[in-house]
Amino acid sequence: MADGMSSFWGPVTSTTECCEKNYAYSSYIAEFYNTLSNIPSILLALIGLVNALRQRFEKRFSVLHISNMILAIGSMLYHATLQRVQQQSDETPMVWEMLLYIYILYSPDWHYRSTMPTFLFLYGAAFAVVHSFVHFGIGFKVHYVILCLLCIPRMYKYYIYTNDASAKWLAKFYIATLFLGSLCWLGDCIFCKKISQWPVNPQGHAMWHVFMGFNSYFANTFLMFCRAEQRGWAPKIVHVMGLLPYVKIEKPKSQ
């Protein structure tokens, strides 16, 4: 939206803007709420990373939590500056993150272990290079949705084969936060002209960031539980101060 004050970063060069007045609170932050709303994602990913390292989960989960943090930091840079280069620091990690989810979901049953990570790595690297020169516009969104859809059948399989009620609730929270976050994102996009006339902006895109931070955390925790079951680590869901769930495991002494 139109600038509220002079810009430290110069004219907007990104191809997408959200329904928030630019530089309303600081000349250093273009979209104030859309920038700060990524902080919960970073904190939740950090909690997940500490748990994965402390209990010596497979490295794939540490990388996944780190990718969540990289995505959130890239999103902060993009919304703070509204520059084309920083937009790539938001969009490219979105694709990398989904490739990681595809690997974690499908790799346990993949017979040729080296082919999947090699292909996904090359795919992610090629996308980053091409995306640095070509902006796909709506094509990027379609591509991202396709990657998300590829994860659904496997997530559903894990859900129906999981008997633990607490783990199933994680999957339900994952769906709920995805649904609510998507509603906020769509509302911010579709009704921006009307929202900009309201006395108070509900900050739909910022709420999307918050919901998706919890969405990623619930997804990661659910996948960690399922993987621990596959490895025979006797996982159970416990809660930090009775609120935030995480996976606690008991590895056999031989491991």
Give the pTM: 0.92
Asked if residue 99 has pLDDT above 90, the reply is yes
Find out whether 58 is annotated in a ligand binding site. no
pLDDT of residue 224: 97
CA distance 232 to 54: 18
Residue 147 vs residues 59, 140, 142, 224: alpha-carbon distances, Å: 22, 11, 9, 20
What ranges do the domains of the chain cover? Answer: 32-250
Contacts of 96 (CB under 8 A, 6+ apart): 67, 70, 71, 124, 128
pLDDT, tens only, 29-75: 999 999 999 999 999 999 999 999 999 999 999 999 999 999 999 99
What mean pLDDT is predicted for residues 98-107?
Answer: 94
Find out whether 209 is annotated in a ligand binding site. yes
Number of Cβ atoms within 10 Å of the Cβ of 219 = 25
Look-up of token digits 């993009």: 78
Find out whether 239 is annotated in a ligand binding site. no
CATH 2.130.10.10 corresponds to the domain 32-250: no
- The answer to whether 195 touches 178, Cβ cutoff 8 Å, is no
Chain centroid to CA 26: 26
Find out whether 135 is annotated in a ligand binding site. no
Half-sphere exposure of 174 (CA within 13 A, CB side): 20
Find out whether 229 is annotated in a ligand binding site. no
pLDDT, tens only, 189-230: 999 989 988 999 999 999 999 999 999 999 999 999 999 999
What is the DSSP secondary-structure string of the chain?
--BSS--SS-S---S---SS-BTSSBTTBSSHHHHHTTHHHHHHHHHHHHHHHHTT--HHHHHHHHHHHHHHHHHHHHHHH--HHHHHHHHHHHHHHHHHHHHHHHGGG-SSTTHHHHHHHHHHHHHHHHHHH---THHHHHHHHHHHHHHHHHHHHHHHH---HHHHHHHHHHHHHHHHHHHHHHHHHHTHHHHTTSSS---HHHHHHHHHHHHHHHHHHHHHHHHHHHHT---EEEEETTTEEEEE----TT-
Find out whether 91 is annotated in a ligand binding site. no
Mean pLDDT of the chain: 92
